Amino acid sequence: MTNLVDHARRELAAINEAPELTAGILKVIEAFAELKDSAEVTHETLQTLNALLEFQHLTPLTDDPEEWYQHDMLDGTFWQNKRNGGAFSRDGGKTYYLTEEGANQANPFPVHISRPRAEILLGAQTWGSDG
């Protein structure tokens, strides 16, 4: 048992968390503690883990058709991103808006531009997640 697991157990008890939820959370904490013991865990690792737990994408969204679900509705066709369920497009993924920014179908602003899939494939060795 690590200090991190002991800490989590105490804190979960302090808020009287449900036993089944406590058990699940402690499994995650134990797995993370094992990772931390076997590798250098940095602040960036924690940010990555947090982003994944919140279903966030780690690199910019692309216009790759495989990255978008097409929805045909009575009022038209729109696309939803598979990597970010809150990203919606009216043009097959070339541009998109984010519901987390308050945008919606009636007010799709601000509009973001997807990275071209070809650019990602060609520049995979040098391109980072800054876009």
Report mean pLDDT in 10-residue bins for the chain, 131 residues: 89 96 95 79 87 91 96 92 96 96 92 87 50 43
pTM across the whole model: 0.71
Supply the pLDDT for residue 41.
79
Looking at residue 121, its pLDDT comes to 67
* β-strands 68-73, 87-89 pairing: unpaired
- Please tell me the predicted confidence (pLDDT) of residue 131: 43
Q: What's the confidence (pLDDT) of residue 130?
A: 43
Question: Where exactly are the structural domains of the chain?
Answer: 3-41, 65-122
- How many Cβ atoms from other residues are within 10 Å of residue 89's Cβ? 24
Neighbours of 113 (CB within 10 A): 12
Predicted confidence at residue 103, as pLDDT, reads 94
32: three-class secondary structure by DSSP:
helix
Apex CA 102: angle with CA 97 and CA 107, to 5°?
65
